């Protein structure tokens, strides 16, 4: 477990500002996704986000001993967002910037044909947003895997103090990424299920989502954000209650906090071995009888189904 003295006070997710692709999806038909730039409005959004981030981290100027470390997706729109955000921070406040490929946008393929992409996204809604994989691209599950790898590296960086921060200074991490990557990041961090992920909404352009450190060493979204905000992101009442619990949770005792998830798989009425009914227990002999019946059915199919 990382040294609590080295843990960042805030881990902040920021989606890029409005891009040319957000304004006009036809841009993806002629411009590679990673080269899509910000609009003028998007740059203004990023400058405003920078001012808000500085106020948040400095507690509106009342906190003086703090530093920031930035992680940024390699896409043009995220890099440009960082340039605009950076105008609110002096160099002495920034201890590092790292371009991180694992927090890039979900790959949708190469050049995107607008009408085909519209139909594909409709199909994704029917199939399920987490597991649907775009042709020549990725699924959200693929993004989850690489974001999980990034999180492992992040923890090592924090634990070994590879970020080079003075423990006497408040460290703040700002991750400038994309809508789906941000949702997947939170999913991995807070151990949300696939069903819970499917209910989440993308953050808006330059929207800020703040994970703040509680006294027990655990992070929560409910310190900085209201119930109404969290509900607007798609969090259920149960997920919001979990965020509130995390405010004062002890990081060393998180494994015991999974009763609700256990109840979705195991009978809540079975508190002891004596509660298990004999009829619910399958013996080895009964299992062999079922297996023989299945094997017999397969033998029948082997006889009746002609070779193709």
What CATH number should be reported for the domain holding residue 123? 3.40.50.1240
Could you tell me if residue 138 is inside a domain? yes
Could you tell me if residue 264 is inside a domain? no
Number of domains making up the chain: 1
Domain assignment of residue 69, given as a range:
10-213
Could you tell me if residue 297 is inside a domain? no
Q: Confirm or deny that 34 is annotated as ligand binding.
A: no
Could you tell me if residue 170 is inside a domain? yes
Could you tell me if residue 222 is inside a domain? no
Catalytic site residues? 16, 105
Q: What is the pLDDT along the chain (308 residues), one digit of tens a residue?
A: 556 778 999 999 999 999 999 999 999 999 999 999 999 999 999 999 999 999 999 998 888 899 999 999 999 999 999 999 999 999 999 999 999 999 999 998 877 777 788 888 888 888 888 998 988 889 999 999 999 999 999 999 999 899 988 988 999 999 999 999 999 999 999 999 999 999 999 999 999 999 999 999 999 999 999 999 999 999 999 999 999 999 998 876 665 565 556 666 666 565 666 656 665 565 666 666 656 666 655 554 444 444 44
DSSP string, 216-271: TB-EESTTTS-HHHHHHHT--HHHHHHHHHHHT-BGGGGGG--HHHHHTTS-TT--
H/E segment holding residue 121: helix 114-127
Q: Confirm or deny that 52 is annotated as ligand binding.
A: no
pTM given for the model: 0.84
Could you tell me if residue 97 is inside a domain? yes
Q: Confirm or deny that 15 is annotated as ligand binding.
A: yes
Residue 105, SS3? Answer: coil
Q: Confirm or deny that 217 is annotated as ligand binding.
A: no
Q: How big is the CA angle at 157 (ends 182 and 185), to the nearest 5 degrees?
A: 15
Q: Confirm or deny that 47 is annotated as ligand binding.
A: no
Could you tell me if residue 152 is inside a domain? yes
User: How is residue 88 annotated by DSSP?
Assistant: G
Could you tell me if residue 262 is inside a domain? no
């Amino acid at each position: 477990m990382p040294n609590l003295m080295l843990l960042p006070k805030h881990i902040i997710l920021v989606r890029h500002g409005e891009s040319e692709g957000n304004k006009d999806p036809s841009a993806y038909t002629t411009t590679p996704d990673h080269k899509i730039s910000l609009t003028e409005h998007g740059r203004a959004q990023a400058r405003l986000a920078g001012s808000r981030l500085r106020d948040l981290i400095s507690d509106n100027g009342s906190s003086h001993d703090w530093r920031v470390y930035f992680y940024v997706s390699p896409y043009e729109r995220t890099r440009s967002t960082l340039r605009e955000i950076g105008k609110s921070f002096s160099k002495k406040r920034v201890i590092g910037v790292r371009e991180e490929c694992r927090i890039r946008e979900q790959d949708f393929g190469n050049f995107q044909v607008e009408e085909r992409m519209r139909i594909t996204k409709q199909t994704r809604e029917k199939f399920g947003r987490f597991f649907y994989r775009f042709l020549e691209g990725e699924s959200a599950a693929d993004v989850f895997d690489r974001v999980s790898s990034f999180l492992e590296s992040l923890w090592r960086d924090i634990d070994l103090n590879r970020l080079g921060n003075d423990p006497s200074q408040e460290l703040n991490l700002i991750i400038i990424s994309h809508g789906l990557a941000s949702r997947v990041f939170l999913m991995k961090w807070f151990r949300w299920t696939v069903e819970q992920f499917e209910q989440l909404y993308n953050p808006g352009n330059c929207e800020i989502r703040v994970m703040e450190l509680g006294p027990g060493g655990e992070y929560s979204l409910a310190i900085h954000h209201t119930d109404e905000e969290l509900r607007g992101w798609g969090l259920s009442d149960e997920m919001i209650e979990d965020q509130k619990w995390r405010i004062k949770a002890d990081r060393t005792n998180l494994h015991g906090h999974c009763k609700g998830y256990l109840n979705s798989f195991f009978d809540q009425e079975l508190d002891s071995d004596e509660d298990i009914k004999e009829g619910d227990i399958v013996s080895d002999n009964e299992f062999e009888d079922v297996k023989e019946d299945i094997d017999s059915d397969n033998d029948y199919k082997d006889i009746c189904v002609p070779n193709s």
